[in-house]
Chain A
């Protein structure tokens, strides 16, 4: 018995092996030029491409919203619907302002208590100007004569409601997902295939430290990824970061753990890179499409929404947009971060349970 105690190694707060494992992980990554490209350069190239492509977004059907539930609102909406080029929604003030910030509608039509109708829109956007002209025309006509309705305009010139503002948080979310799932999944399956995992468990290495080292190095790399992408977006497109930096950090950390857990889960049993990449694509593809990277996930039918909202990338994107574009508080961001934490706990637990070390 005394022998046994003598043999157990001394423990320090942060063990040398965790430091070594994490730094080795980090070095392996930065010595891989392709991985560096996909992580840092690719999202920026994509942002540039999208920034250019969507500068003049054509709008065949113009989405507008009439705000309020008064009889006047329904009348205005009915008048506007007479124009087939307009898609008209009637929304409450809250959802209406969210809708215009995310770019889902180009124009808000607000019936005023004094009988006037106010048009709220970003006058720098051609499609919004177009919407205003169309809506005004339709409404004036609906009321019989052009000069029977007096109108006023309020110009909404807001950073944070352009397409580039919408897409940058989506790209960041997509990048965190891709680099976490791919970064963990690929390296672990590769190590298993090369019997390196087996060699490592043949030493006294702590298995928990081994897995933690992947998350540590991921987080270290993410600092770079986030700073590069957001810095670029702020500098060249003026994309805002309105929420606190602490909030942003917590969203990113929760996302790394959720996607890292998913990556570990995918890699927990696969023996071949091919098998693992198949699984990774199956996991990531639906989220690329559904989770609102390039266009709002609200474009999908209502019936799918509970499922879509439960996806981790939707949570990341929602939280990033709420924080960066609207400076939303924890009441909005908190539930999304909690959902990510839930994903992290569930996937890490399953991954540890199923992990194949040999």
Chain B
């Protein structure tokens, strides 16, 4: 049965001194799926991934990767995995080609160095020093090192964090290409758009636990509202209550974020906005700001925890 599962994790637990990093976590990733771990800083994403990668030993729980266990099959497993860690700095004095060649030499079989460098679009930097690469180029080189062994299963820990939009899109293209080859992917991110775009399924993690699991579209749909309206009032808003907002047409949920800021989850934007404006006018309240956006995984997280996913 587990043959069809690339990764199977049961009742995983890991604690560091006084922090419980992973707290009874289960995951099942079928072969060929692109699976995302989504969560705020310190949620336990890296710890979970590194346990799956056999780099961290769990305190409790069972991990089966590609049908094998780390304790018995480490060497064979390493040949079949591609890994990109959250914070590796590759040797700065080496060139791009030398770095890829080094990683290639560790694997019994894999892709050609030229091929991999072309795939990550670093041909021009082939003989340039690693230390001189931009952030996005470094990240693509890390990806090149992860795929040079032609892995069946690829782990990417925050592959696009800190990158500009264009670099992020380049990485996404690479991931799409890898997916198209029918390989399995486990990636972590705190970018919602990234998870929505790349992942077949995501697990939202908070405090070391899975708090939501499913396809991004299904998770967003579970909110029962496709849009989010945020507004800020000028002056006091004490006369306004969650209650009265919830009665407006199309509003599924209403929440006071803080002070004069409110948030509504809405199924029919074109009906709710006029109703909201009318309601405010009737109470003689002035709008300072009004924003709307389509509901995202971020809103799913906010809905489940009452907190923002990223502290900005």
List A residues at the B interface (Cβ < 8 Å): 4, 7-10, 15-17, 19-21, 24, 27-28, 31-32, 191, 194-196, 198-205, 358
Cβ contacts under 8 Å, B55 to chain A? 198, 201-202, 358
List B residues at the A interface (Cβ < 8 Å): 53-56, 73, 75-76, 78-81, 83, 85, 87-91, 93-94, 98, 101-103, 105-108, 145, 149
Q: Can you list 13 A-B pairs with a CB-CB distance of less than 8 A?
A: A7-B79, A7-B108, A20-B101, A24-B91, A27-B94, A191-B91, A195-B88, A196-B90, A200-B106, A202-B55, A202-B81, A203-B83, A204-B106
CB pair A24 B94 closer than 8 Å: yes
Closest residue of chain B to A358, judged by CB? B55
Cα distance A27–B76 in the bound complex, in angstroms: 30
Residues A203 and B85 in contact in the complex (CB < 8 Å), given A8-B75, A24-B98, A198-B55: no
Residues A199 and B83 in contact in the complex (CB < 8 Å), given A20-B101, A28-B93: yes
Our pick among B87, B89, B94, B106 for the contact of A203 (Cβ within 8 Å) is: B106
Q: What 8 A-B pairs come out closest when comparing CB atoms?
A: A9-B108, A194-B89, A204-B78, A20-B105, A17-B105, A7-B76, A203-B106, A205-B106
Closest residue of chain B to A210, judged by CB? B106
- Distance between A22 CB and nearest chain B CB, rounded to angstroms: 11
CB pair A202 B91 closer than 8 Å: no
- Distance between B250 CB and nearest chain A CB, rounded to angstroms: 49
Cβ contacts under 8 Å, A199 to chain B? 83, 85, 88, 90, 145
Cα distance A191–B89 in the bound complex, in angstroms: 8
CB pair A195 B108 closer than 8 Å: no
Our pick among A21, A202, A204 for the contact of B75 (Cβ within 8 Å) is: A204
- Distance between A101 CB and nearest chain B CB, rounded to angstroms: 45
Q: Tally of A-B residue pairs with Cβ under 8 A? A: 79
Our pick among B79, B88, B94, B105 for the contact of A198 (Cβ within 8 Å) is: B88
Our pick among B73, B88, B108 for the contact of A194 (Cβ within 8 Å) is: B88
CB pair B53 A202 closer than 8 Å: yes
For the complex, would chain A's binding face be called helix, strand, loop or mixed by DSSP majority?
helix
Closest residue of chain A to B83, judged by CB? A202
- Distance between B97 CB and nearest chain A CB, rounded to angstroms: 12
* 5 extra A-B contacts, CB within 8 A, seeds A17-B105, A198-B55: A8-B75, A24-B91, A28-B91, A28-B93, A203-B83
Cα distance A16–B108 in the bound complex, in angstroms: 10
CB pair B101 A198 closer than 8 Å: no
Residues A202 and B85 in contact in the complex (CB < 8 Å), given A7-B76, A27-B98, A28-B94: yes
- Distance between A260 CB and nearest chain B CB, rounded to angstroms: 20
- Distance between B300 CB and nearest chain A CB, rounded to angstroms: 32
- Distance between A272 CB and nearest chain B CB, rounded to angstroms: 15
CB pair B107 A196 closer than 8 Å: no
Closest residue of chain B to A31, judged by CB? B93
Residues A24 and B102 in contact in the complex (CB < 8 Å), given A8-B75, A194-B88: yes
- Distance between B117 CB and nearest chain A CB, rounded to angstroms: 16
Cβ contacts under 8 Å, B105 to chain A? 15-17, 19-21
Cβ contacts under 8 Å, A7 to chain B? 76, 79-80, 108
Cα distance A201–B54 in the bound complex, in angstroms: 10
CB pair B149 A203 closer than 8 Å: yes
Cα distance A9–B75 in the bound complex, in angstroms: 9
CB pair B85 A195 closer than 8 Å: yes
